[in-house]
Structure 1
Amino acid sequence: MNTRSFRYLDLIMAFFVAVLITSNVASSAKIVDLGFSVLGYRLAFDGGTLLFPLSYVFGDILTEVYGFRASRRVIWAGFAALALSSLIFFFLRLLPADGEWEAYAGTAAYDAILGGMSTGGIALASLTAYLVGEFSNSVVLSRMKVLMKGRLLWVRTIGSTLVGEFLDSLIFVLIASITGVFGWELFVSLVLTNYLLKCSIEVIMTPLTYLAVHKLKKAESADVYDVGISFNPFKRAEANP
């Protein structure tokens, strides 16, 4: 079955990419502090934390219904969109500023909010963490589906998210801290809070994931099991059998 014949795959891809880009901007735009601590660590997190987990929900749905090969195509489409948005912010930063805009906003404000995305900090952190996290999530879910013979979807979605979100949170905050986007004093609290919040959102979204998977499998007449396929993320896109 060719992935291009699916009715809703491109629509899901569009929402997936929209979530990625919006959460990427939100990550750079604001650090949120809830004002209390867990295990002695302040609950502070970047703004994208509240939205980015939806990409994992979409990732779970993609892999569960369409299989890893379709998911791989969508993940790379998301990567291309993230890279393009970073390039746009970079070149926009180089263009001469209007005098009135400089007076009420200014290059300093642009650099403070979007500078990380345009100069490499947030961009590098986001792109690297995204690829590792999303592919880990997809591979784990795909393998668990075959091993568990399609049973216990909630175990597979949450289990794969625990792996993918941990790698994503750790790599994102680590690179962002190394490049000076976040201070090292926030490292543990950002990793911990990002991970806990992202996984919690995945758990909360589980009923909607079940509903979406059920509806899509019926609408698409698809329920792909990834048996005997390559999980190489760099393998050229191919059709599902």
Structure 2
Amino acid sequence: MTKSMMYSYLTGIFCVLIIISNILATKTLKIGLIMLPCSILVFPILFIINDILSEIYGFAMTRNVIFLGFVLNIIAVVLFSIAIMLPSNSPSADAFATILGTTPRLFIAGLLSYLISNMINSQIMVKLKEKYYNLLFVRCITSTAVGETIDSVVFITTAFYGVFSTELIITMICCQAVFKVLYEFIIYPFTRYIIHYIRELDDGELENMI
């Protein structure tokens, strides 16, 4: 195992989770009086991988992964839309369209929130590393808190402004942001372990990838 191999694995996992999160978002998760999209189960993992990539490989290589996920997300939605429009005699055609279909507004909201929040998360992680190298916990939590909050603000505002009341939109933003940061907090020991594990690996072909 080398750092270049780990970069490939993390890139693959990151991109797969992007596609999965879009599908999970079609179902809501109810916790008491709080309603959240089921994509919240995997979306925080994207920011954890973002932290790992930023910490080990820097902003430029992390940005490449973010852009790749962005492009693959668009390709997946386009292919889903084409498949929905094609004639079919399948009894599950309506269910297929319901699960994998998306409105232009939600599609744009998802793309914007993903791209902006992940870029900012990576930049903060790298910038803080220059001054606070030994404070990994602080850097991970801070970058994730900012990135996840921006993601929630951009997505929910873009997707639901004018549809839901301002009070409900603010509640949804706060609930999602808090849940995602708590997720990062709980799983931090695993994040820390992966970062320290990769640090000890040989570079492999990493220099040729930069």
- State TM-score, norm by structure 1: 0.78
Which residue of 9, 12, 31 maps to 2:10? 12
Kindly report structure 1 stretches of 4+ aligned residues shifted beyond 4 Å. none
CA distance in 2, matches of 1:111, 1:157: 38
Q: Which residue of 2 aligns with 1:143?
A: 127
Q: How does 1:152-163 map to 2 (within 5 A)?
A: 152-163=135-146
- Measured in 2, the distance between the counterparts of 1:221 and 1:92 equals 42
Q: Percent identity?
A: 28
State the Cα distance separating 1:188 from its structure 2 match: 2.6
Indicate the structure with greater helix content. 2
1:207-230 Cα deviation digits (max 9, x unpaired) = 0111000000111459xxxxxxxx
Runs of 5+ consecutive residues of structure 1 not aligned to the other structure: 36-41, 223-237
The answer to whether residue 53 in structure 2 is matched with residue 58 in structure 1 is no
Q: Distance in 1 between matches of 2:22 and 2:27?
A: 11
Deviation of 1:93 after TM superposition, in Å, equals: 1.7
- Counterpart CA distance in 1 for 2:123 and 2:48 is 14
How far does the alpha carbon of each residue in 1:134-164 deviate from its partner, in whole angstroms, 9 at most, with x for none?
000000010000022x111000000001111
Work out whether residues 161 and 199 of structure 1, in 8 Å CA contact, stay in contact via their aligned partners in 2.
Answer: yes
Superposed counterparts of 1:109-120, under 5 Å: 109-116=95-102, 119-120=103-104
DSSP 3-state at the match of 1:184: coil
Give the match's secondary structure for 1:7. Answer: helix
Given the alignment of the two structures, is residue 190 of structure 1 paired with residue 172 of structure 2, yes or no? yes
Contact 1:44 1:189 in 2 (8 A): no
Distance 2:23 2:158 in 1: 16
1:212 aligns with 2:203: no
**Alpha-carbon separation, structure 1, partners of 2:96 and 2:104:** 14
**Structure 1 position 30 matched with structure 2 position 10:** no
Contact 1:50 1:197 in 2 (8 A): no
Contact 1:69–1:239 (8 Å) recurs in 2: no
* Structure 2 counterpart of 1:164, one-letter code: G
AA aligned opposite 1:114: L
Find the residue that maps to 1:21 and give its secondary structure: helix
How many angstroms does 1:23 deviate by? 1.0
d(CA) in 1 for partners of 2:70 and 2:6?
A: 20
CA distance in 2, matches of 1:209, 1:160: 13
Which residue in the other structure is 2:105 paired with?
Answer: 121
Aligned partner letter, 1:78: G
Distance, in Å, in 2 between the alignment partners of 1:47 and 1:95 is 28
Deviation of the 1:106 alpha carbon: 4.5
- 1:191/1:111 Cα in 2 relative to 1: closer, same or farther (>3 Å)? farther
Q: Which amino acid aligns with 2:88?
A: A
Distance in 1, matches of 2:138 and 2:145, equals: 10
Distance 1:173 1:220, change over 3 A: farther
1:175 aligned residue = 158
Tell me if structure 2 keeps the 8 A contact 1:26–1:48.
yes
Q: Deviations over 1:67-125 (max 9, x none)?
A: 11110111111111111111111111211121x41xxx453x44543332xx4233211
Q: TM-score, normalised by structure 2?
A: 0.89
Q: Does structure 1 retain, via aligned residues, the 8 Å contact 2:52–2:191?
A: yes
Query: One-letter code of the match for 1:156?
Result: R
How many residue pairs end up in the alignment?
Answer: 205
| 8 Å contact from structure 1 (residues 31, 45) kept in 2 | yes
Residue type of the alignment partner of 1:59 = N
